[in-house]
Amino acid sequence: MLREIGKGAMATVYEAEHLGLGKRVAVKKLHSHLAVDATASARFLREGRAASQIKSPHVVDVFDVGVEQGIPYLVMELLEGADLAAVLRERRKLPVSELVDLMLPVVSAVHAAHDVGVIHRDLKPSNVFLGKGDSGEVFPTILDFGISKVTTGVEHDLTLSEVLLGTVHYMSPEQTRGGRNASAESDQYALGVMLYECSTGTKPFAGNSPYALMHAIVSSKVPPPSTIDPDLSPEFNQVVLRAMHRDPQKRFSSVQALGVALLPWASEAQKQRWAPALGVSAKQRVAPAPSARSRRRAAFATLALFVAIGAFSVRASRGRSVLPSPSAEPVQEAAALQPPSAVPSASAVPSIHEPPLPAPAQVPRLPASTSHVSTRSGTTAPAGSGGDGVPSRGNSPERGTNGALIVE
């Protein structure tokens, strides 16, 4: 062990040198007071096994798992950079094109996890690490499969039905009723919350306690993102609100379909990179998303058209022979500015197996942090080690909407 680089509610992360591999690695060790709990130890070791099953370069690479002197540990790749939560603390929000370029590899990694039956259950900005790729570009990586749910094989489900797992702000309505209710649709909901937060600078729901927050999640209407930032388009509203629909059956058919719906906002380079991986063929043109400026220009041209028609009607009613008003000229421009629908139908998404995907070329500017795992605001908890949920009040445990204990 060379140095401690982060500590969370469940584990401590160290920078170390792997003598056999001859490289620097990150070693994550479960806290000793938790190691005596057989369920906590089993869940910790399952994190490594779950991550190793997923065929995506955008999932943290786990080299080894084991137990030393009764303490479970994971040996993982050492990442340089900062997590998405740190970026949001510095910049508050991201432009939609930049955000979509960043989220497409994240969506692809979640899709790859679902392909092998792994549900993450705790997707949030602090579990998306923005490391560096081989060419120095920012490379998103999903961390912390410590509370993941494995839906295939014979592995025992370590989640009791009465226990809530996850971080409350990103919990789907069904997750507030217990960890076993989490599904691929729940991960999609969390991605929708991340899109909402990163594009508006605020979370969709608030509450002065975990219970109040969960009550808002299951009963309050989600305000459209454009009510917070008017520059966000109605089409973007539709994508985010569908991913966050209270009814899981009314969300996108898969996170892959969510990725296809986000493609119109991607940069041209990222459209070319990710469209084939998401099942969009070269013959299917991805329409550009309308910008706020183009929508205003189109609205002005449409208004000019109505004014021209009104003027023409008044003159015609007086029996005059008139020519079209010059103010009607912007009509052709308005037609040119009206793009086709920017939100593809989920039914158009083919069912494919997604191969390992390349790193995106354009991603957001990082803050100055260069540590493997950034610490959270007000805590020393490292990204990927848990422990950044909404704190409970007083000494009594917080409970969910069904009276279940909340485990963060």
Which tokens go with 220? 């309050």
Reference 145, options 111, 185, 115, 113; nearest CA is: 113
Distance, in Å, from the CA atom of 376 to the CA atom of 83, rounded to the nearest integer, reads 9
* Active-site hit among 83, 101, 115, 122: 122
Strand partners, 16: 25
Query: Is 83 designated active site?
Result: no
Quote the CA–CA distance of 21 and 27 in Å, as a whole number. Answer: 14
Tokens of 189: 């909901």
Contact criterion met (CB below 8 Å) for 149 and 121: yes
| Tokens matching residue 91 | 């910049």
Could you give the CA distance from residue 163 to residue 400 in angstroms, rounded to a whole number?
9
Q: Which pairing describes strands 405-407 and 163-165: parallel, antiparallel, or unpaired? A: parallel
Residues designated as active site? 122
